[in-house]
Amino acid sequence: MKDGSIILQKAEEYRADMASFLRDMIAIPSESCQEERIILRIKEEMEKLNFDNIKIDEMGNILGYVGQGSHLIAMDAHIDTVGVGDEGLWTHDPYKGYEDKEIILGRGASDQEGGMASMVYAAKIIKDLNLEDDYTLLISGTVQEEDCDGLCWHYMIEEEDIRPEFVVITEPTSCNIYRGHRGRMEIKLTTHGVSCHGSAPERGENAIYKMAPILNDLKALNMKLKKDDFLGKGSLTVSEIFYSSPSRCAVADGCSISIDRRLTAGENWEFALNQIRELASVKIAEAEVEMYKYTRPSYTGLKYPVKSFFPTWVIEEEHPVCQTLVDSYQKLFSEKPLVDKWTFSTNGVSIMGRYAIPCIGFGPGHEDQAHAPNEKTWKDELVKAAAIYALIPDTYLNKYVDKMPEITKNIIE
């Protein structure tokens, strides 16, 4: 196994290159379904660094490979971002960004193009230091995660037959090790009424009024949801409201809300839907409760419809994949890492939550920067992440590959 100090030294040599690459990515607006330009910029960097194979699949994900060994290991970063919101809240242009000795600011800096920069240069470190062994490393830059987390990997597993032995999710973890997070689902609840002229509302039935007690019951339900000692409590919030009415001078004949439901351990989509359906106000209103379906095409025009259900996942701290990260971290930094969890959701919902392929998280940047104005990341963390990504395959093959349990193909529909 290569000495950790040599890997750290090499990662430090690429500090400026990683910063420059990240700033180039930030400068390219890349909201979900609009990622083509940033995918091509990543391809350019992979070509410059002599990746062994580069492919852009039909959905538009970029897949860069290093090595040709028998053990497939993957590292993933979604490269789409959310929008910038109110630009008045930004101290600098969110795409021109800002850089000083310590930070890089701009949309996508932490969530999560910083992870992409570190991964790509980890591959360069592997080549520079001859760390290749009996493994193939897949570096994936995936699309549409902000719109529909896990959709990209659902496609890659089902249609491209990509099934790694494990996947490192490079979402921001403040360079800690994250081993899971709550799942989520997107729920639509609809009430129906009868329209009439607004001057005589008693002639109709107002769908918005029917929704009012339901909103109060949902607020109360959130306080009663199940709690898990590691993942925390399930939650729900009403995130959107819509109506239908013939005019402003009419009684509304329809009202719908969107519910963001976070699922802790032991909760699934059927359980969550039934909790809402059993509310007294929902029954009285005869409201419809259903799961959303995601059908938006990728930038290539591909449609890959899926239900908006994103399973909970957790990997045990003693699992060989988690221990691979812990061991690598201790070798590089001579201290014990913090092992924790994300609050938000990642592509792990498909990789491990749906397909039981082990996942582990380690990324530069901080979770509280995600979707925030003045989003930033830290250069020291880019360097730190690149070093550990370069060491992970070597640690796995030399210490943990023979300890891996058999993957149970328990696919969640």
In a domain, 412, yes or no: no
* Residues 12 and 114 placed together within one structural domain of the fold: yes
Query: Which two structure tokens, joined as six digits, stand for 8?
Result: 């750290």
For the question of residue 145 being annotated catalytic, the response is: yes
* Residues 142 and 276 placed together within one structural domain of the fold: no
Query: What CA–CA distance (Å, rounded) separates 94 from 358?
Result: 35
Q: What pLDDT shows up at residue 408?
A: 58
257 in Cβ contact with 189 (< 8 Å): yes
Residues forming a β-bridge with 233 = 227
* Residues 279 and 320 placed together within one structural domain of the fold: no
Candidate list 17, 45, 57, 80, residue with the active-site label:
80
In a domain, 410, yes or no: no
Candidate list 17, 45, 145, 267, residue with the active-site label:
145
* Residues 175 and 38 placed together within one structural domain of the fold: yes
Query: What CA–CA distance (Å, rounded) separates 12 from 15?
Result: 5
- Of 294, 328, 352, the residue that ends a domain is 294
In a domain, 81, yes or no: yes
Average pLDDT (112-118) is 98
* Residues 166 and 267 placed together within one structural domain of the fold: no
* Residues 61 and 124 placed together within one structural domain of the fold: yes
pLDDT exceeds 60 at position 410: no
- Kindly report, residue by residue over 152-197, the tens digit of the pLDDT: 999 999 999 999 999 999 999 999 999 999 999 999 999 999 999 9
Query: What CA–CA distance (Å, rounded) separates 261 from 187?
Result: 7
Sheet architecture: strand order including 103-105: 98-99, 103-105, 376-378
* Residues 169 and 131 placed together within one structural domain of the fold: yes
Q: What pLDDT shows up at residue 407?
A: 66
In a domain, 304, yes or no: no
- Kindly report, residue by residue over 238-293, the tens digit of the pLDDT: 999 999 999 999 999 999 999 999 999 999 999 999 999 999 999 999 999 999 99
- Of 294, 323, 345, the residue that ends a domain is 294
Residue found under tokens 């420059």: 20
In a domain, 197, yes or no: yes
In a domain, 341, yes or no: yes
At 248, which CATH number?
A: 3.30.70.360
Average pLDDT (145-152) is 96
Query: Which two structure tokens, joined as six digits, stand for 369?
Result: 């920067």
Number of domains composing the chain: 2
In a domain, 275, yes or no: yes
In a domain, 300, yes or no: no
Q: What is the mean pLDDT of the chain?
A: 96
Domain limits at 139?
4-181+312-403
Query: Which two structure tokens, joined as six digits, stand for 260?
Result: 């963001």
pLDDT exceeds 70 at position 2: no
116 in Cβ contact with 170 (< 8 Å): yes
* Residues 200 and 94 placed together within one structural domain of the fold: no
* Residues 283 and 334 placed together within one structural domain of the fold: no
* Residues 199 and 264 placed together within one structural domain of the fold: yes
* Residues 137 and 208 placed together within one structural domain of the fold: no
- Of 294, 322, 354, the residue that ends a domain is 294
* Residues 39 and 84 placed together within one structural domain of the fold: yes
- Kindly report, residue by residue over 325-365, the tens digit of the pLDDT: 999 999 999 999 999 999 999 999 999 999 999 999 999 99
- Kindly report, residue by residue over 44-100, the tens digit of the pLDDT: 999 999 999 999 999 999 999 999 999 999 999 999 999 999 999 999 999 999 999
Q: What pLDDT shows up at residue 4?
A: 84
Average pLDDT (133-162) is 97
At 92, which CATH number?
A: 3.40.630.10
